[in-house]
Amino acid sequence: MDVVRRLSSAYKFHADIIRRWVERYGILRTKSLVEALKTPCKRISLRVNLLKTDTDHVLRYFEEKGVRVHCHDKLEEVIFVESRGPFKLPTSDKVVIADKMAAESVMMGAHLFAPGVVKAENVRKGDEVLIVDKYGQPVGYGVAEMDGEEMEKRREGLAVRVTVTLFKVPSFRGDPIFEEGYIYPQSFPAILTSRVLDPRPGELVVDMCAAPGGKTTHIAQLMRNEGQIIAVDRSKNKVKKLQETVAKLGVKNVKILLEDARRLPKLYPSLKADKVLLDPPCTALGVRPKLFENRNEKDIINSAAYQRTLLRAASKILKKDGVLVYSTCTLSPEENELNIKYAVDELGFKVDDQMHVYGFFGEPLLKDYRKLQRFYPDSHDTPGFFIARLIKTRD
Ligand code: SAH
Supply the pLDDT for residue 40: 98
Q: pLDDT value at position 311?
A: 98
pLDDT of 357 higher than 80: no
HSE-up (13 A, CA, CB side) for residue 8: 17
For position 104, what pLDDT does the model report? 98
Averaged pLDDT, 121-139: 98
Mean pLDDT of 312-323: 98
Ligand 1 neighbour 211 (Cβ under 6 A): yes
User: Could you give the maximum distance between any two Cα atoms of the chain, in Å?
Assistant: 68
CA of 211 to the centre of ligand 1 (A): 6
Ligand 1 and 287: CB distance under 6 A: no
> Is the CB of residue 260 below 6 angstroms from any atom belonging to ligand 1?
yes
Active-site residue 329, yes or no? yes
pLDDT of residue 173: 87
Q: Of the candidates 186, 169, 102, 170, which has an alpha carbon nearest to the alpha carbon of residue 139?
A: 102
Residue 395 has a pLDDT of 83
Nearest to 19 by CA among 34, 9, 8, 29: 8
* Minimum-distance ligand 1 atom for the alpha carbon of 212: 8
pTM score of the predicted model = 0.96
Distance 65 CA to ligand 1 centre (A): 35
Digit-coded pLDDT (tens) for 218-236:
999 999 999 999 999 999 9
Strand-pair partners of 205: 229, 275
Contact 336, 330 (CB under 8 A): yes
Ligand 1 centroid to residue 210 C-alpha, Å:
5
72 lines ligand 1 (CB under 6 A): no
Helix (H) or strand (E) holding 195: helix 188-197
Q: Which of 127, 244, 224, 265 is nearest to 184 (CA)?
A: 244
Q: Quick check: CB of 262 below 6 Å from ligand 1? A: yes
Cβ 189 under 6 angstroms from ligand 1: no
> What does pLDDT average to over the chain?
95
Q: What pLDDT sits at residue 210?
A: 98
Ligand 1 centroid, distance to 280 Cα (angstroms): 6
* Cis-peptide into 212, omega within 30 deg: yes
* pLDDT for res 358: 56
Asked whether the beta carbons of 144 and 158 are under 8 A apart, the reply is: no
pLDDT at 359: 52
In which band, very low, low, confident or very high, does the pLDDT at 361 lie, cut at 50, 70 and 90?
A: low
Span 142-184, pLDDT tens digits:
999 999 999 999 999 999 999 999 999 999 988 999 999 999 9
Res 360 pLDDT > 70? no
127 phi/psi in degrees, rounded to 5: -65, 150
- Determine which residue's CA is closest to atom 17 belonging to ligand 1: 209
Which is nearest to 36 in space by CA: 13, 4, 59? 13
Distance 213 CA to ligand 1 centre (A): 9
Looking at residue 354, what is its pLDDT? 84
pLDDT band of residue 370 (cuts 50, 70, 90) is: confident
% the chain with pLDDT above 90: 93
- Give dist(CA 245, CA 212) in Å, integer: 7
- What residue's CA is closest to ligand 1, atom 15? 235
